[in-house]
Amino acid sequence: MRTASIEEVQTPALLLERQKLDQNLARMRAQIARWPGLQLRPHLKTAKSIAVASLVSPERGPITVSTLREAEEFARHGFNDITYAVGIAPNKLSRVAALNRGPTRVSIILDSVAAAEHVAAFVKKEGVQIATLIEVDTDGHRGGVKPGDPLVVAIGKVLADVGALSGILTHAGGSYGARSTEEIADYAAKERNGALRAAEQLRAAGLPSPVVSIGSTPTALFSKDLSGITEVRAGVYMFQDLVMAGLGVCRPEEIALSVLTSVIGHQSERGQLIVDAGWMALSRDRGTQRQALDCGFGLVCDVEGRILDDLQVMETNQEHGLVSRRSQAPVDLARFPIGSKLRVLPNHACATAAQHGRYHVLAGGQAVEEWERFSHW
């Protein structure tokens, strides 16, 4: 928690621009506010930071997490309404129960009768309440029961019998493969309609579904109708990244996260720069590979954050990045002497941030604070 010149920050380092973060948060809040009563339940798997969470939700409102470690950290800091949005493994129920015995409510998700029976047996045996959501699949992306499948009701009954049924949850992960914002809006409509249909199945069978939870950054920002939905989950919107820019969800200039790096070598023959940000600092994520603009391992900016022509990190080893031009023309090496600093925009904010232990927070071009991140499970 100190002010430093960006030149003093040891490379590689994760930078977070406060102003862009604030703008990204405001944009999502404005979108959610269009539907009265609709709640934002931000996904903190990208941030994994109490400081960021406190800006995202100053009122310590409902949040989403991807690990029980996140749930435990956020619970310790006063976040009391948490959805753990990964299908529950039976071996994790004791940790969930431990949290639910305190002031925290951790909801879980599942998509099979077998998993529901594990939960029902546990809830009965331990005498603890665990709010459980049925995961439905609206785009063939990953897990989840298809809306309309009688399984929705079958699972619902197992849960309702022990008072554990809390509603429906879906995630339109397929929207990451959309080719236009119109297509994203189509995914958003399918996501909403599928979730509502599954909730209707429960209600028609006389089962409760107070929660109808949907979300992903693309569908949340491009939904045309969210009526009937009770809450929206999204995470990447806080920082944005090149995958989101490639989808048309944001402009590259809105990406709040970057990796500060130093030039450590010149490959004169190939006209390449060698920098000290390899895959350990950038992650191995190649999320833009199938997009119209393949950004390699990240787009290169100058130390102030201005995107440089067509410079990209083309290859990575553990602690080395090879920077070249998309046009394949040689880089003007004299412009980037040994020791000069660059910044790299991430393909995937979640993956890049996960490689770091702290954010160096920038305001007015200065590194004004360091915010801790946590990780692991």
Q: Give me the least distance between CB of 193 and a second copy, in Å please.
A: 20
The nearer residue to a second copy, 226 or 244, going by C-beta atoms, is: 244
The 10 Å Cβ neighbour count of residue 91 is 8
* Minimum distance of a second copy from residue 56's CB (angstroms): 18
Shorter beta-carbon distance to a second copy: residue 110 or 311:
110
- Interacting residues with a second copy (CB under 8 A): 7, 10-13, 45, 66-68, 86-92, 95, 110-112, 114-115, 118, 142-143, 173, 262-267, 274, 276, 279-281, 283-286, 317-320, 322, 337-339, 350-351, 354-358, 375-377
Cβ of residue 91: shortest distance to a second copy, in angstroms? 6
Long-range CB contacts for residues 291-298, cutoff 8 Å, separation at least 24: 291/243, 291/246, 291/247, 292/246, 293/246, 295/242, 295/246, 295/345, 295/347, 297/321, 297/344, 297/347, 298/242, 298/259, 298/344, 298/345, 298/346, 298/347, 298/352
Residue whose CB is less far from a second copy, 286 or 326: 286
Query: In angstroms, how far is CA 1 from the centroid of its own chain?
Result: 25
Could you tell me the smallest distance in angstroms from the CB atom of residue 173 to a second copy?
7
In a 13 Å sphere around the CA of 5, the CA atoms on its Cβ side amount to 3
Other CB atoms within a 10 A radius of the CB of residue 179 amount to 12
Looking at beta carbons only, is 230 or 355 nearer to a second copy? Answer: 355
> Which CB atom, from 173 or from 230, has the smaller least distance to a second copy?
173
Tokens found for residue 376: 């692991």
- Please name which of 265, 258, 270, 241 lies closest in space to residue 321, comparing C-alpha atoms: 265
Least distance between a second copy and beta carbon 269 (Å): 8
